[in-house]
A and B are shown apart, each in its own frame.
Chain A
Amino acid sequence: METQTLIYLFVGASFALYIAIAIWSRAGSTSEFYVAGGGVNPVVNGMATAADWMSAASFISMAGLIAFLGYDGSVYLMGWTGGYVLLALLLAPYLRKFGEFTVPDFIGTRYYSKAARVVAVICLIFISFTYIAGQMRGVGIVFSRFLDVPILWGVVIGMGIVFIYAVLGGMKGITYTQVAQYCVLIFAYMVPAFFISFMLTGNPIPALGLGSEVNDGSGLYVLQKLDLVLTDLGFAAYTDGSKSMIDVFCITMALMVGTAGLPHVIVRFFTVPKASDARKSAFWALVFIALLYTTAGPVGAFARLNFTQTVNEQEYSQAPEWFTNWEANDLIAWRDKNFDGRMQYRPGEPFGGAPVFIEGETGLSGERLVENPTTNNDNEVYVDRDIMVLANPEIAILPGWVIALVAAGGLAAALSTAAGLLLVISSSVSHDLLKQTFRPKITEKGELRAARIAATAAIVVAGYLGVYPPGWVAQVVAFAFGLAAASLFPAITMGIFSMRMNREGAISGMVSGLGFTFLYIAYFKLWEPAANVEANWLLGISPEGIGVVGMVINFAVAITVSALTKAPPAHIRKLVDNIRVPRGAETPHMH
């Protein structure tokens, strides 16, 4: 069968499955809509958490980033898994014992303050929207490349699917759809990885393959060979990074703490029956996540080796089909600087910025011409890092059904995360803003309707951001973590581990942590992008890692302010005492 037909078949079948699950698991109450009734099995919840967590960024972009960053890419691998240790040990069981619906619920109740709740809602909405825009862009890329439909229609179809199961099913629908999506995405990720690892090293397990010898008879280990090939061309060795140690340290910490502070991840632990299940669930979530994350590193390394060996010094007229396919999609470009008809792949940018193609004009070898100003180096090849995972099966010449599988997997990853984010946005609007703050008299039915309307509105906004991504989205998506690390994480952990922490301390801590982190990021990313170099950074910490400093500021301000103000009332100390022990958890109650 044609690859294109297979892609339609795989994507269509997976979509039909998601919709069938959505119809089967309609939500009837707010408790079902917000936390799936609090009755999800911990293993099932772990799987749903993994799908919720692993977004288009994990599935599509991460291995590509690692491929081009080498050792520095470790920040994502450690950062996005180590956060689950914090979640399991410091947050999940206690928040489950607390037994409400949302993260602002906890902050508002623990700090006996509507202001604290509203500050938490603002943090949450800001974090979630920057994140969701990235998911929609992922959906757009997959659709335009594999299904040959314009990005607009890709996003509309994707939104339509999410609409059906998120708005109808709420958390209940999302949970069971995410289980299906996890199966699709992990299968789609592992199959090409097995093939590629086997072809390069003779060992089909990627994590072992990367530690083995290349089977080209050279007797070199994969990483040795990769280091040799890259340093020959003037690149840094793959196993050596170029970021400073303090920056690697801070980025890893910001990603870990940020992961533990992301509302759409935390809320998943509200859906299991009891506190001890929340611990187990965190374990299973990391098992399912680790499958992909221990594979992503090897996939990145194999892709870099394959890409370099296939492309460098290759005559353009003999270039493999995938190269010209992605060139046609604007994500690869080649400028023949020395007019030898061969592609030289070297360090540095081949030309300034992302390629701007001149419509309909081709060069001497038939390549698409780019109008960007030339840079003064020998590199001729531009490649968008996001394509590595998607192009991998084509680079390794795998059969058509593997390519179709990867397309369905990329969509599953993007849709599952988008749905989880939409749910926390809608519940923070209908539950925290309406029910708990501005319209306390709203009925259960009214609240459910408000939640569905809020979810619909959030889908439309997210869809718009996906079709017309404003420049700042790509710039700030990664910073959702820094903001979560500097605002929500300290407020929640101190709420559990400190009896003395009070309203004044928590609010001033959140505001100063978030404010500092936001200003630092905005200064270097939006206002003065030219100044974003190591010499100007505070203590040599890049905007990606600054959330750690924001977190320290949050803790320091909160502890100082709370020491100078009145201790929390007796019923709050009782509440803290109660959430510290597992016994006596209830299913989330109706309000």
Chain B
Amino acid sequence: MDEPDSKRADGDEARVDANDQVESHRAYWHANLRLLGVLMTIWFAVSFGAGILFRSFLDQFSIGGYPLGFWFAQQGAIYVFLILIAVYVVVMHRIDRKFDLDDDED
């Protein structure tokens, strides 16, 4: 993969810049989709997985007075959702900067 912020000295600069931009947008988008894939898998696992599909199985364990599956469905899933968005905000910002596509005002 090309280093997106590497400068090329030779060649038709405008054309190379345009190619660079297409390339860097594509790489940026793939990094974004990879992150989305991971986060959405966890999103599905804690709500639909732990809270619904495997609820009965998990209910044999407990967390405090909560059966575990019931806890995921009424409490745990919500906490994980919050963590997921927080991770997304932080990691996505890092990816923005890595590809020099962030919207920070300097």
Not counting A276-B93, A276-B96, a sample of 4 additional A-B residue pairs whose C-beta atoms are within 8 angstroms of each other reads A211-B71, A212-B64, A279-B92, A282-B85
How far, in angstroms, from A467 to B68 measured CA to CA in the complex?
44
- Please state if B78 and A77 are interface contacts (CB–CB under 8 Å): yes
Residues of A within 8 A of B29 (CB): 580
- Please state if B25 and A577 are interface contacts (CB–CB under 8 Å): yes
Measured CB to CB, the closest approach of chain B to A137, in angstroms, equals 26
Residues of B within 8 A of A256 (CB): 47
Question: B interface vs A, CB < 8 Å?
Answer: 25, 28-29, 32, 36, 39-40, 43, 47-48, 51-53, 55, 59, 63-67, 70-71, 73-75, 77-79, 81-82, 84-86, 88-89, 92-93, 96, 100-104
Residues of A within 8 A of B64 (CB): 208, 211-212, 221
A283 at the interface (CB under 8 A from B): yes
Question: In chain A, what residue has the closest Cβ to B74?
Answer: A297
Given A283-B82, A286-B81, A294-B75, answer yes or no on A276-B66 (Cβ-Cβ < 8 Å): no
Proximity string of chain A (560-591) to chain B, C-beta cutoff 8 Å, 1 when within and 0 when not: 00000000000000000100111111000000
Residue from A82, A89, A293 in contact with B88 in the complex, judged by beta carbons closer than 8 Å: A89
- Please state if A88 and B88 are interface contacts (CB–CB under 8 Å): yes
How far, in angstroms, from A585 to B86 measured CA to CA in the complex?
22
- Please state if A245 and B101 are interface contacts (CB–CB under 8 Å): no
Measured CB to CB, the closest approach of chain A to B22, in angstroms, equals 8
Shortest 5 CB-CB distances between A and B: which pairs?
A221-B65, A211-B64, A74-B73, A297-B74, A582-B103
Residue from B43, B55, B92, B96 in contact with A82 in the complex, judged by beta carbons closer than 8 Å: B43
Partner-binding segment picked from A120-128, A177-185, A246-254, A430-438: A246-254
- Please state if B59 and A239 are interface contacts (CB–CB under 8 Å): yes
How far, in angstroms, from A282 to B84 measured CA to CA in the complex?
11
Given A85-B85, A582-B96, answer yes or no on A78-B102 (Cβ-Cβ < 8 Å): no
- Please state if B66 and A223 are interface contacts (CB–CB under 8 Å): yes
- Can you list 25 A-B pairs with a CB-CB distance of less than 8 A? A77-B73, A81-B77, A81-B78, A82-B77, A82-B81, A85-B39, A89-B36, A89-B85, A210-B66, A211-B65, A212-B64, A223-B67, A239-B59, A248-B52, A252-B47, A276-B92, A286-B85, A290-B82, A293-B78, A577-B25, A580-B29, A581-B28, A583-B100, A583-B101, A584-B103
- Please state if A78 and B47 are interface contacts (CB–CB under 8 Å): yes
Measured CB to CB, the closest approach of chain A to B53, in angstroms, equals 7
A222 at the interface (CB under 8 A from B): yes
- Please state if B65 and A212 are interface contacts (CB–CB under 8 Å): yes
How many chain A residues have a CB neighbour from B under 8 Å?
Answer: 51
Measured CB to CB, the closest approach of chain B to A73, in angstroms, equals 8
Measured CB to CB, the closest approach of chain A to B91, in angstroms, equals 11
Residues of B within 8 A of A283 (CB): 82, 85-86, 89
Which A201-218 residues have C-beta < 8 A from chain B? 207-208, 210-213
Measured CB to CB, the closest approach of chain B to A356, in angstroms, equals 35
Q: Say what secondary structure dominates the interface of chain A.
A: helix
Question: In chain B, what residue has the closest Cβ to A283?
Answer: B85
Residues of B within 8 A of A211 (CB): 63-66, 71
- Please state if A71 and B81 are interface contacts (CB–CB under 8 Å): no
Question: In chain A, what residue has the closest Cβ to B40?
Answer: A89
Residues of A within 8 A of B100 (CB): 583
Measured CB to CB, the closest approach of chain A to B56, in angstroms, equals 9
Measured CB to CB, the closest approach of chain B to A366, in angstroms, equals 39
Residue from B43, B70, B89 in contact with A223 in the complex, judged by beta carbons closer than 8 Å: B70
Measured CB to CB, the closest approach of chain A to B43, in angstroms, equals 5
Could you say which of A89, A253, A297 has the most chain B C-beta atoms within 10 Å of its C-beta?
A89
A287 at the interface (CB under 8 A from B): yes
Measured CB to CB, the closest approach of chain A to B57, in angstroms, equals 12
Residues of B within 8 A of A297 (CB): 74-75
- Please state if A207 and B75 are interface contacts (CB–CB under 8 Å): yes
Residues of B within 8 A of A221 (CB): 64-65
Question: In chain A, what residue has the closest Cβ to B104?
Answer: A276
Question: In chain B, what residue has the closest Cβ to A253?
Answer: B48
Question: In chain B, what residue has the closest Cβ to A76?
Answer: B74
- Please state if A210 and B65 are interface contacts (CB–CB under 8 Å): yes
- Please state if B70 and A71 are interface contacts (CB–CB under 8 Å): yes
A268 at the interface (CB under 8 A from B): no
How far, in angstroms, from A224 to B62 measured CA to CA in the complex?
12
Residues of B within 8 A of A82 (CB): 43, 47, 77, 81
How far, in angstroms, from A293 to B78 measured CA to CA in the complex?
8
- Please state if A85 and B103 are interface contacts (CB–CB under 8 Å): no
Residues of A within 8 A of B36 (CB): 89-90
A337 at the interface (CB under 8 A from B): no
How far, in angstroms, from A213 to B62 measured CA to CA in the complex?
14
Residues of A within 8 A of B84 (CB): 85, 89
How far, in angstroms, from A362 to B32 measured CA to CA in the complex?
68
Question: In chain A, what residue has the closest Cβ to B67?
Answer: A239
Question: In chain A, what residue has the closest Cβ to B73?
Answer: A74
Residues of A within 8 A of B28 (CB): 580-581
Which A273-322 residues have C-beta < 8 A from chain B? 274-276, 279-280, 282-283, 286-287, 290, 293-294, 297
Residues of A within 8 A of B66 (CB): 210-211, 223
Given A211-B63, A211-B64, A583-B102, answer yes or no on A249-B75 (Cβ-Cβ < 8 Å): no
Residue from A74, A88, A207, A274 in contact with B51 in the complex, judged by beta carbons closer than 8 Å: A74
Could you say which of B52, B77, B100, B102 has the most chain A C-beta atoms within 10 Å of its C-beta?
B52
How far, in angstroms, from A85 to B67 measured CA to CA in the complex?
25
